[in-house]
């Protein structure tokens, strides 16, 4: 009897052992179609690594423009590439993307996604659901030249600095260095309307708007805008802000990289460009530091200038939903591939999972993602035609130039900016409407 019981107890174990020895059935081969602008770039960034990890899934890239209303929403791809937050929001409303639930990134909980990325994704849909995932995001920081700050015994900027404090720091620098070369407290990558763009950037940092995208009404004659103009104009008149516009393709190196400017607000890409630049002829190795980009003093924990350019989602019409979801999650968060991509193509952006952001030498890059994202910030360039905004800037720059030449007072300038700026906006809007009518007439 005891022997019989032992035999019965052993049977399940034998069954398990035998079943574990059976060869696994190979997974059914699947071809995933991906609509993406460059087949070569997709394979280099994601495709080869994904196919190596999932040998039963082959990727077929269909070279095509990003999904948009202009290029068409119905795509034959199983995985859809979308460029930009506004197009992503429109794709959600059109229902061309499957929801991603649970929002995992290659088996990792979505909590490992940067809170910045999560906040931006959640704000894009009415229900807070994810419909696509990005491999990277873009940010900016305030970079500074330690050697120049030390030479003039000026304290380094700190995390959470405001634009008024940045302008005040810039004023502490002389306008020439010890060799008689021009020296600036701060330089930005503006090519036209340089000084007004400084003011607009500072206003956008503080959640101010100069144009209502719905009514197209210009507003700038307010106490908050006046405070920004006051600080900026003081720095402009001191000659410590680099305000000479350049052509975008100019061969002249930015003043910050030639050590003729002490500070610059720039993107995450700059952190990776110092070392390559040091090998250029006549270039130097810059002893640099970084802190968070300037903040709104009323909301010092937030930044308005995080951006996601690349989104990958699963087509709602795909017949290979499970496999397509694997690819999307791989793109967003595979630990090995994400770190390789960050190392080999740093200009592509910061990894969506910031644990994969590597230091540059001994530089900690956390100021690029320390601040929270402001999900309510709206970039005017996504709401208003660039020609209209450029027209306003041209008009505003003309008024600012008069102020800097002491032809008018600050109060007069703010009043005139609203009048001249509104006239420029109205003219640009009318011109665009006429162009649309003429184009429609040509099509009929």
pLDDT of residue 9: 39
Of the candidates 368, 352, 205, the one whose C-alpha atom is nearest the C-alpha of residue 360 is 368
**Count of residues in the chain:** 444
Positions in the chain whose pLDDT score sits under 70: 1-27, 68-75, 102-111, 245-252, 281-283, 440-444
pLDDT of residue 234: 98
- Kindly report the backbone phi and psi dihedral angles of residue 373, in degrees, each rounded to the nearest multiple of 5, phi listed first: -85, 140
pLDDT of residue 170: 98
Of the candidates 27, 15, 48, 66, the one whose C-alpha atom is nearest the C-alpha of residue 330 is 48
What is the C-alpha to C-alpha distance for residues 256 and 340, in angstroms, rounded to an integer? 29
CA separation, residue 175 to residues 181, 185, 225 (Å): 8, 8, 27
pLDDT of residue 375: 86
Spell out the alpha helix ranges (H) of 139-268.
146-151, 163-171, 194-205, 223-238
Q: How many Å from the N-terminal Cα to the C-terminal Cα in the chain?
A: 95
- Maximum CA extent, the chain: 112
DSSP 367: G
**What residues contact 316, with CB distance under 8 A and at least 6 apart?**
95, 96, 97, 98
DSSP 3-state of 77: coil
Please give the torsion angle defined by the CA atoms of residues 322, 326, 332 and 336, in that order, rounded to the nearest 10 degrees. 170
- The 10s digit of each residue's pLDDT in 57-110 is 999 999 888 776 666 655 679 999 999 999 999 999 999 999 997 655 444 444
pLDDT of residue 351: 95
Of the candidates 73, 397, 61, 87, the one whose C-alpha atom is nearest the C-alpha of residue 245 is 397
What is the C-alpha to C-alpha distance for residues 368 and 359, in angstroms, rounded to an integer? 12
Are the C-beta atoms of residues 261 and 184 closer than 8 Å to each other?
A: yes
Are the C-beta atoms of residues 68 and 107 closer than 8 Å to each other?
A: no
pTM, two decimals, is 0.88
Pairing of strands 350-351, 136-137: antiparallel
What is the C-alpha to C-alpha distance for residues 77 and 33, in angstroms, rounded to an integer? 5
In 10 A of CB 366, how many CB atoms? Answer: 14
Listed as own residue / partner, the contacts of 379-387 with beta carbons closer than 8 Å and 24 or more positions apart are 380/209, 380/211, 380/213, 382/84, 382/85, 382/86, 383/213, 384/211, 384/213, 384/216, 385/428, 385/432, 387/428, 387/431, 387/432
pLDDT of residue 103: 56
* 289, β-bridge pairs: 144
Pairing of strands 30-36, 57-63: parallel
**What residues contact 230, with CB distance under 8 A and at least 6 apart?**
410
239 dihedral zone (left: phi>0; alpha: psi -120 to 50; beta):
left
Listed in order, strand segments (DSSP E) in 124-193 are 136-137, 140-145, 184-186
Copy the structure tokens of residue 411. Answer: 């109060």
In 10 A of CB 276, how many CB atoms? Answer: 9
- Kindly report the backbone phi and psi dihedral angles of residue 327, in degrees, each rounded to the nearest multiple of 5, phi listed first: -65, -45
100 dihedral zone (left: phi>0; alpha: psi -120 to 50; beta):
beta
pLDDT of residue 282: 67
């Amino acid at each position: 009897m005891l022997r019989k019981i032992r035999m019965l107890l052993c049977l399940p174990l034998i069954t398990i052992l035998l079943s574990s020895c059976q060869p696994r059935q190979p997974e059914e081969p699947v071809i995933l179609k991906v609509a993406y602008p460059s087949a070569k770039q997709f394979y280099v960034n994601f495709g080869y690594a994904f196919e190596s990890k999932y040998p039963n899934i082959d990727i077929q890239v269909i070279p095509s423009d990003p999904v948009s209303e202009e290029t068409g929403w119905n795509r034959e791809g199983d995985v859809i590439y979308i460029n930009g937050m506004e197009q992503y929001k429109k794709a959600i409303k059109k229902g061309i993307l499957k929801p991603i639930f649970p929002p995992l990134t290659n088996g990792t909980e979505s909590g490992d996604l940067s809170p910045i990325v999560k906040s931006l994704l959640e704000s894009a849909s009415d229900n807070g659901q994810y419909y696509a995932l990005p491999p990277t995001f873009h940010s900016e920081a305030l970079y500074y030249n330690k050697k120049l700050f030390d030479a003039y015994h000026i304290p380094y900027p700190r995390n959470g600095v405001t634009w008024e404090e940045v302008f005040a720091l810039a004023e502490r620098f002389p306008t020439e260095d010890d060799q008689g070369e021009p020296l600036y407290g701060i330089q930005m990558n503006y090519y036209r309307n340089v000084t007004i763009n400084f003011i607009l950037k500072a206003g956008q940092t503080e959640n101010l708007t100069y144009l209502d995208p719905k009514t197209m009404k210009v507003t700038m004659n307010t106490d908050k805008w006046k405070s920004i103009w006051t600080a900026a104009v003081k720095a402009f008149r001191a000659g410590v802000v680099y305000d000479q516009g350049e052509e975008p393709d100019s061969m002249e190196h930015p003043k910050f990289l030639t050590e003729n400017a002490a500070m610059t607000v720039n993107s995450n890409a700059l952190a990776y460009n110092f070392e390559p630049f040091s090998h250029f002829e006549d270039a130097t190795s810059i002893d640099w530091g970084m802190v968070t980009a300037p903040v709104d003093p009323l909301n010092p924990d937030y930044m308005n200038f995080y951006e996601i350019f690349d989104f990958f989602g699963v087509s709602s019409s795909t017949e290979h939903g499970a496999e397509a979801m694997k690819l999307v999650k791989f793109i967003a968060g595979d630990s090995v591939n994400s770190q390789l991509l960050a190392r080999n193509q740093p200009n592509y952006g910061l990894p969506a999972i910031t644990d994969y952001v590597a230091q540059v030498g001994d530089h900690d890059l956390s100021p690029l993602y320390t601040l929270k994202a402001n999900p309510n910030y709206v970039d005017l360039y996504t709401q208003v035609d660039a020609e209209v905004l450029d027209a306003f800037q041209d008009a505003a720059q003309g008024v600012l130039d008069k102020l800097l030449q002491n032809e008018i007072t600050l109060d007069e300038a703010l009043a005139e900016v609203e009048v001249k700026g509104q006239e420029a906006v109205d003219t640009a809007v009318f011109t665009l409407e006429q162009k649309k009518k003429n184009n429609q007439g040509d099509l009929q």
